Structures are given as structure tokens and as C-alpha cells.
Amino acid sequence: MYHFVLNCIGIFTHKRKIVGAVVFVSLFFAFLSPTVSGQSCISGLIVNSTGSKPVSDANIAVSTIKGTTSGKNGTFSFCNLPSDSVILTISYVGFETLKYKTFLKPGDNNLGALSIIPAVINMDEFIVTATRTDNRLMNIPVRVNLISPKMLSSLPIQNIDEALRYAPGINYSRPFGIYSTKGIISMRGMSGKEQGRVLVLIDGVPVNKSDGGTVDWNMIDINSVQKIEITKGAGSAIYGGNAMGGIINIISKVPDSRSFLKASVEYGTYNTFGGKVSTGGKFQVKNKDNSGYWLANLSAKQSDGYVTQSETDVKANPYIVKSNMKEAGVNFKTGYAFAGKHSIEAMVNYYNDKRGTGEKVYQPDGNTTDHDSYGIIVNYRGTFEKLKLNSSLYSLTEKYKKVNEYLKDDYTWYDVLSTRRDLGWFTTASASIGKVNLLTGGFDFKNGSVDAWDKYYTSTDIVYNKGKMSTYALFAQDEISLLNDRVRVIAGLRFDMAQFYDGGFYIENPTMETSFMVGGGYQVPHMPEQNWHEFSPRVSIQYKWNEVSRIYAMYSHGFRPSVLDDLCRSGRIKGGFKIANPAVQPESLNNYETGFDLKPSSKSTFAASVYYSRGTDFQYYVSNGKTIDMGFGERPIFIRANISDVEMYGAEAEIRYDVLNSLTVFANYAYTHSTILAYHKITETDTIDLAGKFFTDVPAHTFSAGANWNNRILNLSALVHYNGAMYINDQNTVDEIMLSDQYAAYTTMDMKVWKAFKTHYKLSIDIQNLFDVKYYDSKYAVCPGRFITAEFAVNF
Amino acid sequence: MQGMWFFFFSFLAIGLAFNSCTKDDPAAKASLILKTGSSYTPAGAYIPVGGIIKIGVLASGAGAPLTYIRIDRITGNDTLTQLDRGIYAGSQGLDADYTFSKDTSPYELWRIMVMNADRDTAVRTLVVFKGTGTAYGPLNHFENIRLNFQGNHSSGHFLDVNTGLVFDETSVSGHESEIDLCAYYYVTSGLPSPTFTCPGYTAAVAYYPQFAGWPVKSNIVYDYYSSDNNLVSMAQFDSAANDSLLVTAFRPDKVSGNCKYGYTGKVIPFKTQQGKYGLVKVVHADEKEDGVIDIAIKIQK
């Protein structure tokens, strides 16, 4: 007689009915099986629960004793098992792991058909950034953090970069909140002073400007964003320049209904008010394989602002006024899929802002920055049998205007007018070779240019700078899947070749404002061409012991090319004068890291990583040993040069727990250590030595935690962020204004409360910096403090 | 196919919308005339070395504010900028007088240029010749002047360089328009910096908040070049019997503006808002906010 004590431990409760059916079928077959005395054998058939097709190569493990894989027809069997209670663990990539407890009698034990259920694929967990191929989050041996649509909608944020601050290890800087001209996001120990060491993409297209490496985060409409992928560690093997610390890919939305129209208005602190309209829809044409969509977002906001300067500055300068802002943007996206295998998408953006920077003498708006930005992105995706092709064309233009006016000895008024263009063509092709390899290759072309002039109105001077850089790159990558995907290896190599050309710096009609730049060979109307190249490898490997737990290790290379501003512009900087250096070379970095992901229960996840990075030829401003008379005395001349070897290491950990279906909590912590190891002077007269100094604007400790509670009465999210102390200047000395060598650590709490009612309406209140902490960030200016906005939205 | 057309036209329409153009307004024309009359130097005048050249300017931006004035002295192939100043003169235009000192050149072309916010310029010229003899004038010498820095309230801060009188925070009342010079102390780039300034310097209000309420605030411009390069020694200062050193030491193309470091042992040329040239000798400067600075002044009578 056979006894079957059958107990199915389905780890995914929402599929209990299917598992129950499997159990019943198994039980039925088990009772029919003949009785055999002696050793126990076990056999069965693995089938896909949707369609009952046999599943080959599934892993079957009996407790910790034995393991095998299913054959081509889905069957399996093995013997020499003790007559005892055992647990079968059946796993296969893309399916939920099935745990099956049974009692083995001596002889054959045929379990019959065992159905495994396809994993519920959350499309939001598909990652495209890390490999430029579609991959599930857990299939990439790289640390990737995801800001999902659900999380995004629960964050009290005014700008999209603010969403990133709650992710582990993100170094975030936006000193004046919505009044900041720019925000900076860095990671993995990179200085929070420069955006250029982290690559930022929108739908795979780079948006760091070639001129300065900066990103205009203000122009990205929160309404247009679906999710954000944060890929940690050097990623130059796949994306080339700027991807030293990591890659941030902002994935834009596509409509999920036939038609929709949403509108909202908001009002808040400092007389901030604005509105948004979002509309779009999907459409189907006669051929069922052809379909399309369109989507349009419009937004506008303005605010009276606040005084960002310190009380001392306000006393010293009677022309200080509130820093204010107004902005408007529109983006239009449309896509068309045809023949079931091809799709083309196009996106057009336009954005304009004007932000007052807090000083007004005679000009109607005082000192302001003004961005007039527009961009076009066209993306094609196609499938040709085994080959998948993805090709993107883009053109991004920013017309930047900065009005400078101040009254000290006399009145000075000049505009900085700069046209920055970036365009490119990225193409990726990938094909599976057998069951093991997914080969990816492609080429990238980028061209960046700047054409800028400082136009004085209180003198006759016009100072010009211009330059262009073209980058050509080839890359190849192999994603290798071994042992039924338990082991995955990614090996890639990229070659980048760049050319700097058409560079120039010169002055028209110089007066005492700029006469100090006229002599000394600082004017170079036609700079020599420069070329450089870089190889960027990456090898990473992971071992998964189930669908949700893995360990990985990675080596990768990253580099950052020189920015055009350093190559072709001379001018004033804080503490002196910098001269253009067309010969400055890229800085590079080798990154080693390892980490693991665990899912101790169905409700909790835990992930951690440690990394070590060693950088060479890092670019710093260094004295060339000379001084220049800038109209108020001799000041040192600096030049951007490859003079530092640096070291960064740290650790990140994150835990997430679903306390209830409606309540999720998370916490993350990151430790960072970033120092300069060696400082190579370019002249003996340079008295500065930065060896052993810490990076500026890098907190050693950051911590974030939050809870999101959704219920019938009210939805609530509460978040806490701790930002550790950061060194202020390169020499780690006491700053004369801050009277300390570090910006003080600070903790802020943010909240969002929202409620949808009567189907069409939604009211939400965002509270940033609930306890009104007056912290100083990377500038000598105080933050906006508590900032509250209320938004009312209608879904027509 | 219908969807493809929609896709194409919507994309085209948006692209065209972003390429619309605007028409610039025509630039406003600046205008400039030189004042005439007995108090102004006429064209073709013969001025002895050290004599005063007085130029009166009436200018308009004609719809755009005037934002710049420059006065150059051209002698042969040399051009020396005597005044280079950003201004903001709206619809009222610019009505100003400037005085300079005749140097040893036999022939000087003075070029006066104004520019408006549309960067349109207007230029006038004036020719003067060297007259016979010299016209260097007498000077006033004020010794043993002690000024307190901002943190020292025991005596005076504010100096009238024409009389050598020092006023404190109370006694200055009613004399605000006469004050040309004061001093403060701070640390910059890690260096102790005793500094001369004037009520008209914007940032001076941080050290002397009462400046904010003064109805008239005078300006001095200091020449940093001569003092930083020790071109005027203390011995030269002490031996100066007329204003020739005061006039020639001042390099108008090298002024630092309304503030200047006043380290012990330095001699600093300056020019007052009334156009008087002078020298200030720093006998001793403390290096603390509640300290003092001891100086001597020589200035044109």
C-alpha cells in the first residue's frame, strides 16, 4: 500500500488553486502506482501549468540529497533514495519555484504530472540599462536599484531627481529646492560637485551635456516618467563616457488606455502655483498587428521664492532679493508598431525656465538663468528572426542665458549666452546563439558642441569660447547562461575614440573687465585638434540558488572624457583664474564589487553590496605656478589637468518588508570613503598637495527609511533621510564662511498624503522637510526649509 | 497606414512649432555731447603740466539705458585709459564732470565714449596741448590719523580726507557726505586683511551698517598696482612737497576699485569722488577686528 502524505508548500499564495490541482493530480497518480519494496525511486513529469506542455531542463532537487533535470519530454526520475519524508524543489527560470513534500515508500514512486506556474512577470522589473538588452532585475550580475511607478507615485517630490535621494548610496544635491538651477546626483563615492561622473539617460539616450557634463533635471516632467533604473558601478563597457559611478536611466511612460485626459493644479509654500495636463491614448488600425499611441504632457509652475543667502550676506549686500522661478514645458510622444515585429517611437520636448538667483540691481528680473531647451528622440526596434535591433537618433539643444549684474565699485552687467548641442546615433543588435549565449554588439556616435559668449553691457568686451567633440564607439557583450541559468556571466568590451576640434577662445574689444586675459597667450582662436581613445572592459558573474536569491561579483572599467568647458574656456573660477587646456585627457577608474540579494520570506527582501574603486588621472584644477592680474590683485592661475590618483570604497545595504498588503516599509544605509591617494604636481612652485585628502561633497554616511501605507481612508507615505557631514573644500581646511571644514550632517523628514475620491478626483499634499531643518548643502546658501504643496487632480 | 500618417503629421507639426522665429527690435542709438563753458577745458586748449583738464559729459541712451563710459588719453601711439566705468543711466541720461591732470606730452587726444544697453556707442574727442611751465599744486598733509576697525568702538572710524578729521559713530551725524575713507579688518584666503574702503562701496555696509541710511555716500578709487608693486616708497611719500607725486603715482587703468588691502608699510594712491589725487601711508595696521590702523594722508588742496 502506498501512503502519500502530501503537502504542497506553494511559496506564492495567490496561485494556491493551481497548486492544489497539481497536488490532487499527483495524489491520484500516486495511489495508482504499484507497490515495490526495498530502495525508493521517484519519477514524474514537469509541465507548464498554462497549456500543460512538458518543461525540459527544469531543476529537481530532493531535499539536499540528490538533484537532476527534466528531460526533453519533461520527465525525470532517480533512485537510491531513502524511504522517508522528502521535499522536492522544482525550479526553472521564469517559473515560480515549487516545493513539494511527500513520503517515499520503498519501490517506485511516480508523482505524475507536476505543474509549475510561470512567474508573475512584473514588467517594471525588466531592466534595459545594465546590458542594453531586456533583462529581469535578478538576471543581471550588477547592482541595480529600481524606482518603480508605485514608489514614484508615493514620493513627495517636486523634481524627478529628488526621487533618487531615497535610493541606497545616492549622493544628492539640490541646494535651493525648486529654485536650484541644477541638481546633481552622484554615487559610489564620486564627488557631489559634478554630474559628469554619473551618466544620465532618458529612454537610453544620454542627456549629460558635452559642455559641462551637467544634466538639467528641471526639464524632466515627473508626469512623463514611468520608472527609474539606477545601475551602480562603472558602466563604460556598455555606455562609454561619464558612466564612472553608474548610470541612471529614466524610462518614460506610454499610455495604457484607449484615451485619457488628466489635469491638475497645485499651490504651496512661497506662493508656488502650477498646473499640469496630460492626455493621450492607444489606437488600433485595420491590421491587428499594427497599433500606435500618443501622449502629451504640459506643465507650468512659478514661485515667489525665498532669500537663499545667509544673514551676513544680506547685511553686506542691499541688492539681495528672493530667488524665484517660473518654468513651462511640453513633451509629446508617439509610437507606432507594425507587422508585429517593428516599432518606431518619437519624442519631442520643449522646456523653458527663468530662475532668479537672488540679486537684483537694475535689471527687471535681476540675476537670472534661463534655459530654452528642446530635444527630439527617435527610436526604432525591430526583430529579424533571431536578431533584435534597437536604434536611436537624438538631438538635444539648450540655449542658456545667464544675466549677471552687480554693483560694487561700479556697475557690472553681462550676459552669458551659450548654445549647447548634443546629437547622436546609438545602435544595438543582439542575438541568441544556442541556449547559452546572448551576443550583443553595436556602435555609438555622439557629437557635442558649445558656442558661447560673455556679452558685456557695462563695457565693450565680448568673450567667446567654442568647441566640438565627436565620439565613435564599438562594443560587444556576451551574456552567458550556465547551469540552467543558475550561473550567469556577462563579459563585454567597448572601444571609444574621440576627437576634439574647432576649439577657440578669444576676446573682442577688451577693456579693463577682461584685459587680464588678453596677454599671456590665453587667447587661442584656433585650438589644435586632440584625439584620445579608451578601452572599457567589464566581467561580471552571479550565482542564483533560487529565483530571488543570488550572489554576484563584478569588475568594470569606467572613464569620463574632458568636458568642452575645460577644453576650450578660460575664465574666472572661485579663488582664481582657469585657463583652457585642450590637452586634458579622460580620467579612468577600475571598479571591483560584490553583493548579494536575499528574500528571507515572501514579504521581505534584503540586498547588500561592497565595492572598491581605484581611479587614475582624475581631473582637478591645479596651479600652474603663475599668477594673473585680474583687476583686483594677483591671483593664481589654475588649469584642469590629470593629476590625481584616487580611491573610493564603501558598502550599501537595503531592506524592504511588506508588513501588510497595504503597508510597505524600507530602509537603506550606505557608507562611503573617498580619498586622493596621490597628487602629481605639474610645477614645483605649486604649494598645494591634496594627497590624503577626502573628496569634497561626499557624505561618509547616508541613511533613508520610509513607509508607504495605502488604505481606504487615506494613503500615506513618510520618509526620513540622513545626510552625513561632507568636506567643503579640496584641502579639507576650515572654510572662512562656514567656519568649519565640513558641512554639518542633517536629517529631514518628508511626507505625502493623498486620497482619490468619486472615481475622477484626487487630492494630495506633499510635505518636504517637515521639521523645517535649515541645512546647508554644497553651496553657501540655506535650503528652502519646510515646503508644502497641495495638488488637486481630475481624471476626465 | 492611418496610424502611420497620424504619427508622421503630429511629429512634423510639433517640430515646426519649435522652429518659429522672432524679430529683434532695432537697436537704440546713443548720443553724446561735451559740455562747453568757462569751467570746462575747450578743444585746442594749452594746459601746463599738472594742470587740470575738466571734461563735462551729457549723454543719452535714446531709449536704452546708458551702461558704460570710457575716457582715453591718446598720446602718439600710446593709449592710456583714464576712466573705465560701468554705469546705469536710464531715461535721465548722464550728466557728469570728470577731472584729470595734464602730463608731459606735448599733444593729447582725449577720446570720450559712451555705450548703451544695445551696445550702441557714441564718441567725442578733445585735443589739448602742453602749455608752458607747470601747474603742480600744493597739498595737505595730515599725520597721526588713527582709524578704528569695525569691532573697535573706542574712537573714530570715518575720515574726511580733505580735512583730516576723524568722526566716530555719533559725531559723524551731519557729516556723512564728507566722509571718504574708512577701514575694516577680515580674513580672506586665510590671510589677515586690513582693508581701506569708502561709504559708497556696496559691501562696506556689512562692516558699518549705518552706511545703509546715509543719504550721500562718497566713493574713493584705490590704485592697487602702485602699492602692490611698491612703486611709491615711504621715503617718497615723506618728501613729496607738491601734488606731482600724487598725480603721477595714480594709474587710472589699474584701479582696484573701492577697497584696498592696507598692510603696514604700504603707500596707496587714490582718487576721491571730487577728482582729487592723494596718497595714504600705512604706518601700522593691526590684524584683528577690534584693532586700529595708523595712517598719514597727502592730498591735493
- Please spell the DSSP secondary structure of B219-287, one letter per residue: -EEEEHHHHHTT-S-HHHHHH--STHHHHHH--GGGEEES-EE--TT-EEEEEETTS-EEEEEEEEE-S
Query: 3-state DSSP call for residue B184?
Result: strand
- Chain A hits for B257, CB-CB cut-off 8 Å, are 408-410, 631-632
**By CA distance, what is B203's nearest residue in A?**
A316
> A751 vs A223, which has greater pLDDT?
A751
Taking CB atoms and an 8 Å limit, are B206 and A413 in contact across chains? no
* CA A345 centroid distance within chain: 22
Q: How many CB atoms lie within 10 A of CB A96?
A: 21
| pLDDT reported for residue A38 | 56
Domains of chain A listed by start with CATH number: 7-116 (2.60.40.10), 123-252 (2.170.130.10), 260-795 (2.40.170.20)
The answer to whether the CB atoms of B70 and A511 lie below 8 A apart is: yes
**Residues A360/A321, Cβ–Cβ less than 8 Å:** yes
CB-CB neighbors (< 8 A) of B67 in chain A: 411, 413, 457-458
Q: A334 contacts in B (CB within 8 Å)?
A: 6-7, 10-11
Q: Is the CB of A312 less than 8 angstroms away from the CB of B205?
A: no
Q: What is the pLDDT of residue A639?
A: 85
Q: Hey, is A4 helix, strand or coil?
A: coil
Record: contact B6-A294, CB cut-off 8 A:
yes
Is the pTM higher than 0.90? The answer reads no
> Which chain B residue is nearest to residue A636, measuring alpha carbons?
B189
Is 70 exceeded by the pLDDT of residue A467? yes
Distance from CA of B204 to the nearest CA of A (A): 7
**Contacts of residue B180, Cβ cutoff 8 Å, sequence gap at least 6:** B159, B160, B161, B162, B198, B218, B220, B272, B273
pLDDT of residue A630: 62
Q: What is the mean pLDDT of residues A697-718?
A: 93
Chain A residues close to B1, C-beta within 8 Å:
285
CB contact under 8 A, A512 and B84: yes
> Per-residue pLDDT for A124 more than 70?
no
CB atoms within 10 A of CB B63: 16
| C-alpha dihedral, A611 to A614 to A615 to A616, nearest 10° | -170
Q: Which residues of A touch B14 (CB under 8 A)?
A: 332, 348
Q: Which pLDDT score, from 0 to 100, does residue B24 have? A: 58
pLDDT of residue A579: 87
Question: How many CB atoms sit inside 10 A of residue A279's CB?
Answer: 16
How far apart are the CA of B131 and the nearest CA of chain A, in angstroms? Answer: 31
Mean pLDDT across the stretch A750-774? 92
The 3-state secondary structure of A166-186, one letter per residue = HCCCEEEECCCHHHCCCCEEE
Closest to A788 (Cα-Cα) out of A762, A761, A770, A763: A770
Identity of the residue in B11, B253, B259 whose CB atom sits nearest the CB atom of A334: B11
Task: List the domains of chain B with CATH numbers.
Answer: 31-134 (2.60.40.650), 139-300 (no CATH)
The closest alpha carbon to A409, from B166, B264, B87, belongs to: B87
pLDDT, residue B275, reads 87
pLDDT score at A734: 84
- Across the interface, of B3, B4, B68, the residue whose CB is closest to A458 is B68
Look at phi and psi of residue A352 and say left if phi exceeds 0, alpha if psi is from -120 to 50, else beta: beta
Half-sphere exposure of A426 (CA within 13 A, CB side): 20
Contacts of A659 (CB under 8 A, 6+ apart): A603, A665
Contact: A336, B7; criterion CB under 8 Å: yes
Contact B4 A338 (CB under 8 A): yes
- Interface pTM, i.e. ipTM: 0.81
For residue A11, the model assigns a pLDDT of 34
Task: State residue A17's pLDDT score.
Answer: 45
pLDDT, mean over chain A: 87
Among the partner-chain residues A317, A629, A736, the one whose CB lies closest to the CB of B203 is A317
Minimal-distance CA residue of chain B relative to A406: B202
User: Scanning every residue of chain A, which has its alpha carbon at the shortest distance from the alpha carbon of B257?
Assistant: A409
Residue A491: C-alpha distances to residues A140, A245, A391, A480, A710 (Å): 12, 19, 22, 8, 42
Q: Tell me how far CA of residue B5 lies from CA of A16, A184, A294, A375, in angstroms.
A: 48, 41, 13, 22
Q: Which of A675, A674, A678, A701 has the alpha carbon at shortest distance from A689?
A: A678
pLDDT of residue B269: 94
Query: What would the pLDDT profile of B208-226 be if each residue is shown by its tens digit?
Result: 989 988 988 998 999 877 7
A152 by DSSP, 3-state: which?
A: helix
Q: Which residue of A has its CA nearest to B219?
A: A409
Q: How confident is the model at residue A20 (pLDDT cuts 50, 70, 90)?
A: very low
Chains A, B: CB contacts within 8 A come to 128
Q: Who among B11, B84, B115 is closest to A348 (CB)?
A: B11
Range with lowest mean pLDDT among A107-111, A513-517, A537-541, A729-733: A513-517
Q: Do B257 and A312 touch (CB under 8 A)?
A: no
CB-closest option in A286, A412, A629 to B86: A412
Of B67, B202, B205, nearest to A457 by CB-CB distance is: B67
CA distance A755 to A607: 32
Contact A459 B205 (CB under 8 A): no
Our CA-based measurement puts residue B30 at a distance from the nearest CA of chain A, in whole angstroms, of: 13
Higher pLDDT, A17 or A485: A485
Residues in B closer than 8 angstroms to A736, CB to CB, are: 187-190
In Å, how far is A290's CA from the nearest CA of chain B? 8
Is the pLDDT at A89 greater than 70? The verdict is yes
Q: Residues of chain B whose pLDDT is less than 50?
A: 1, 20
pLDDT at A94: 64
Which chain B residue is nearest to residue A574, measuring alpha carbons?
B189
pLDDT of res. A25: 41
Number of residues in chain B:
301
Grid coordinates belonging to A143: 547592482
The answer to whether A21 touches A115, Cβ cutoff 8 Å, is yes
- Bridge partner list, A531: A499
**In 10 A of CB A135, how many CB atoms?**
21
Please say if the pLDDT value at position A651 is more than 70.
yes
Nearest to B3 among A336, A455, A633 (CB): A336
**Mean pLDDT along residues A660-675:** 94
- The residue among A398, A409, A628 with the most chain B CBs within 10 A of its CB, best to mutate, is A409
Q: Is A594:A272 a contact under the CB 8 Å cutoff? A: no
Interface test with B, best of A413, A458, A511 (most B CBs within 10 A): A458
Q: Report the pLDDT value the prediction gives residue B257, as an integer from 0 to 100.
A: 80
Chain segment A592-601, per-residue pLDDT in tens: 999 999 988 8
Whether the pLDDT of residue A192 is over 90: the answer is: no
pLDDT tens-digit map of A290-323: 889 999 999 999 999 999 988 878 887 889 999 9
Best mutation target, B1, B5, B24, B67, to test chain A (most A CBs within 10 A): B67
Is the pLDDT confidence value at A127 over 80? no
Per-residue pLDDT of A384-404, as tens digits, reads: 988 999 999 999 999 999 999
CB contact under 8 A, A348 and B189: no
Averaged pLDDT for residues A630-654: 84
Mean pLDDT for the stretch of residues A212-235: 94
- Does residue A554 have a pLDDT over 60? yes
Which member of B15, B209, B225 has the closest CB to residue A376?
B15
Of B81, B203, B205, the CB nearest to A512: B81
Mutate to test the interface with A, among B1, B2, B6, B7 (most CBs of A within 10 A): B7
Residue A499 has pLDDT above 70, yes or no: yes
Nearest residue to A126 via CA among A117, A134, A114, A115: A134
Report which of residues A253 and B25 the model is more confident about.
Answer: A253
